[in-house]
Amino acid sequence: MINESVLLESRTLRTSVLERTDVLDRVKALSLLPDGLHVTTAMVAAYYEVTGVVVRALLFDHREELESSGYRVLTGTELSYFKQLGDIPSQVSSLAVFPRRAVLNVGMLLRDSEVARQVRAYLLDAEAEVRTRPVDNFVHRASLGELDERIDNRITDVLGKTVVPMLNALIETSGEQRHELTSLREDIEQIQHRLVEHDLQLSRLQRGQDVRALTGVIGTIDAMTWKEYQQHVAGLLRRDGCTDVEVYGGHGGDRGVDITAKTADGRSVAVQCKNFAPFRHVLSGEMQKFLGSSKVLHQADVALYVATCAFTRESLAIAAQGGVTAVHRGLLEAWSAGVRLQVLR
């Protein structure tokens, strides 16, 4: 088995395991910014139970490596976008953010953190399992799967960030072709969905379908069936003072939402519940569909999209513009642990 000191000293080895960010959730919950994708320097320090000074010193020594893992400092329009999502003071002129890969990278560099040691232990156990596995067709299929996954992710990224926005612009200015363009956009979004499902299947294959069970609140949620998950969210609404809570359970009559309720002060609530895999993202098309259901069909005062995963930047932008509260994995964990959603107060 690889010694921990080798992982600490070898950047090549660290780079080879950067995609295994699921180990972060196995050790403890990682709080995320409202975009569901990034954390601040203070949040990294809190996760590893060290001071911010320690993390900044690590950045000073390994900045180039951490930047290659996704660490960056936001300014200008990017920073403005994060401020619109909330939790970032308006007077802040720059913001350092880490995606999950960079957070994992920090854990492979921190020497004096018990949490970081646990993260490295999970990584080394997984690496040892891979190295000792017999080479057979399963492994070859997994290798091909990794290539397919990269291709799928690239196609999904192009569709979501280029093709769909372009079609949206054309639809806004089109006349008699509006119906055909709208239909084409729906077809493309269906392709996005299929690619995501393909990615999920490949991820399960590559993990050997033997990922260790998560622990704690979010682990319990991940183990729920979709019906149990909906009842869990309904219970959170009742706990926070909502009345007339009704769970539709996907059996029709819901008009595109899973739960309806009334807040304590009488506002109508519409909820979409999605218990996706944690490495999945809620896509823009999914958010657009719920926006129409919650705000147009149900005319809800409060619209909640509650997911066990993160949201893409495009879906978060749609949610912010349409008045939908995006409850991502980290916020769901906090809500489940007793923190009341601000929109329900």
CA dist., res. 96 & res. 1, Å (int): 35
Decide: helix, strand or coil at residue 46. Answer: helix
Predicted TM-score (pTM) above 0.75: no
Nearest to 63 by CA among 111, 19, 96, 23: 96
Q: From first to last of the 345 residues of the chain, give the pLDDT tens digit.
A: 456 677 788 888 888 888 888 888 888 888 888 777 889 999 999 999 999 999 999 999 999 999 999 899 988 887 887 777 766 788 888 999 999 999 999 999 998 899 999 888 887 775 555 444 444 444 344 444 444 544 445 555 555 555 655 556 565 555 656 666 666 666 666 665 566 555 555 554 544 443 333 446 787 888 888 889 999 999 999 999 999 999 987 654 467 799 999 999 999 999 999 988 877 888 888 898 899 889 888 899 999 999 998 888 888 888 888 899 999 988 898 898 888 888 888
Contact call for residues 2 and 128 (beta carbons, < 8 A): yes
Contact call for residues 7 and 123 (beta carbons, < 8 A): yes
